[in-house]
Chain A
Amino acid sequence: MLSVANLSKTYTSEHRTHQAVRGVSFQTRKGEFYTLLGPSGCGKSTTLRCIAGLEKPEQGEIRIGEKAVFSAAQRIFVPSHKRNIGMVFQSYAIWPHMSVLDNVAFPLVSGDRKLTRRAIKDRVMNALSLVKLEELASQPAPLLSGGQQQRVALARALAHEPEVLLLDEPLSNLDAKLREEMRLQIRMLARRLDVTTIYVTHDQLEALQMSDRIAVMHDGRIVEEGTPKQIYLSPRAAYTAGFVGRVNFFEGSVKASESEDATVNVETPIGVLACHVAQGPSHSEGEKVLVAVRPEGISLSMERPAQRLNVIRGVLEASMFAGDTQDCIVRVGRQEIQVKADPLTDLPASASVYLHLPPARCVIIRELAG
Chain B
Amino acid sequence: MSYRVAVAVALVVAVLVLAPLVTIGWMSFVPDLPTLRGPYTLSNFSVLAEKATYQLLLNSVIFSVLTLIVALFFGFPIAWLVERTDIPFKLIIRSLVGMTILIPTFLLAIGWVLLLSPTIGIINQFLTRTLSLPFAMNVYTMPGMAFVQGLSFVPIAFFMLSAVFAKMDPAMEEAAYANRVGGWQTLMRVTVPLSWPGLLAAIIYMFMLGVAVLEVPLIVGLPGQIHLFSSRVFTLTRASSSVPQYGIVGATSIVFLAISMVAAYYYSKVIRSSYRYAVVSGKGYRPRLTELGSWKWLGGAFVLLYFVLSILFPFSSLIWVSLVPYIQVPSAEALNSVSLSAYRYLRNPMVVESVANTTVLISIAPTLVMLLSTLISWIVVRSTMPGKIVLDRLATIPLAIPSIIIAVALMYIALIAGPFFPVYGTVWILVVAFVISHITFGTRTLNAAMIQIHKDLEEAAAVSGAPPSRVLRRVIVPLIWGPLVEGWIWLFLLSFREVTMAATLHITDNAVLSTVVWILWSNGEFDRAAAVSVVLAVVMGLLAVAARLIGTQLGTRTSLSG
Contacts and interface: CB of A to CB of B under 8 A. Distances in A.
B464 interface: yes
Nearest to A89: B456
B463 A111 contact: no
Contacts of B240: none
B463 A106 contact: no
B464 A142 contact: no
B479 A93 contact: no
B558 A93 contact: no
B464 to A, nearest CB: 4
B238 to A, nearest CB: 49
B478 interface: yes
Given A93-B456, A97-B478, A140 B560 contact: yes
B242 interface: no
Contacts of B15: none
What does DSSP make chain B's interface, helix, strand, loop or mixed? helix
Given A93-B457, A97-B561, A53 B466 contact: no
Contacts of B454: 91, 93
Interface stretch (A79-87, A175-183, A204-212, A263-271): A79-87
Q: How large is the interface on A (under 10, 10 to 19, 20 to 34, 35 or more residues)?
A: 20 to 34
B464 A106 contact: yes
Nearest to B561: A96
B272 interface: no
A91 B478 contact: no
B464 A156 contact: yes
Contacts of B460: 87, 89, 93, 95, 153, 156
Interface in A3-59: 52-54, 56
Interface string A88-129: 011111011100000000110011110000000000000000
Contact of A79 (B462, B474, B479): B462
A156 B457 CA distance: 13
A89 B464 CA distance: 12
A90 B460 CA distance: 11
A140 B462 CA distance: 21
Contacts of B557: 97
Interface residues of B, number: 24
A123 B408 CA distance: 60
Nearest to B557: A97
Nearest to B463: A87
Contact of A142 (B466, B470, B561): B561
Given A81-B467, A110-B470, A97 B462 contact: no
Contact of B558 (A52, A97, A110, A166): A97
Contacts of B463: 52-54, 80-81, 83, 85-87, 157, 166
Contact of B459 (A89, A110, A111): A89
A96 B479 contact: yes
Interface in A154-191: 156-157, 160, 166
A113 B462 contact: no
B462 A54 contact: yes
B456 A111 contact: no
A111 B478 contact: no
Contacts of A111: 464-467
A196 to B, nearest CB: 15
Contact of A110 (B464, B478, B479): B464
Nearest to B456: A93
A267 to B, nearest CB: 53
B561 A81 contact: no
A200 B425 CA distance: 63
Contacts of A54: 459, 462-463
Nearest to A82: B465
A85 B467 CA distance: 14
A112 B465 CA distance: 8
B459 A93 contact: yes
Interface string A52-85: 1110100000000000000000000001111101
A194 to B, nearest CB: 20
Contacts of B464: 81, 86, 106-107, 110-111, 156, 160
B381 to A, nearest CB: 16
A79 B1 CA distance: 10
B461 interface: yes
Interface in B412-455: 454
A110 B465 contact: yes
A106 B461 contact: yes
B479 A97 contact: yes
A110 B560 contact: no
A112 B466 CA distance: 9
A91 to B, nearest CB: 5
Contacts of B456: 89-93
Given A93-B457, A97-B479, A110-B470, A81 B560 contact: no
A138 to B, nearest CB: 14
B254 interface: no
B21 to A, nearest CB: 28
A95 B463 CA distance: 14
Given A97-B557, A97-B558, A107 B465 contact: yes
Given A93-B457, A110-B470, A140-B560, A53 B479 contact: no
B461 A110 contact: yes
Contact of B474 (A53, A106, A156): A106
Given A96-B479, A96-B561, A110-B464, A80 B474 contact: no
B475 interface: yes
Most buried by A among B463, B464, B479: B464
B286 to A, nearest CB: 28
B45 to A, nearest CB: 40
Contacts of A83: 463
Contacts of A86: 463-464
Nearest to B461: A106
Contacts of B560: 96-97, 140, 142
A34 B237 CA distance: 73
Interface in B473-503: 474-475, 478-479, 481
A90 B384 CA distance: 21
Nearest to A97: B478
Contacts of B479: 95-97
A25 B216 CA distance: 71
Nearest to B384: A56
A95 B475 contact: yes
B480 to A, nearest CB: 10
Interface string B214-230: 00000000000000000
A166 B462 CA distance: 13
A26 to B, nearest CB: 20
Contacts of B474: 106, 110
A254 to B, nearest CB: 50
A160 B558 contact: no
A57 B480 CA distance: 31
Interface of A: 52-54, 56, 79-83, 85-87, 89-93, 95-97, 106-107, 110-113, 140, 142, 153, 156-157, 160, 166
Interface of B: 384, 454, 456-457, 459-468, 470, 474-475, 478-479, 481, 557-558, 560-561
Given A110-B470, A156-B464, 20 more contacts: A54-B463, A79-B467, A80-B459, A80-B462, A80-B463, A81-B463, A81-B466, A85-B463, A90-B456, A92-B456, A95-B457, A95-B460, A97-B479, A97-B558, A106-B464, A110-B467, A111-B466, A111-B467, A142-B560, A160-B465
23 contacts: A52-B459, A53-B463, A54-B459, A54-B462, A79-B467, A80-B459, A80-B463, A81-B464, A81-B465, A82-B465, A86-B464, A93-B454, A95-B457, A95-B461, A97-B478, A97-B558, A106-B461, A107-B466, A110-B464, A111-B467, A112-B465, A140-B560, A160-B464
Can you list the 3 inter-chain pairs with the closest CB atoms, starting with the nearest? A111-B465, A93-B456, A107-B464
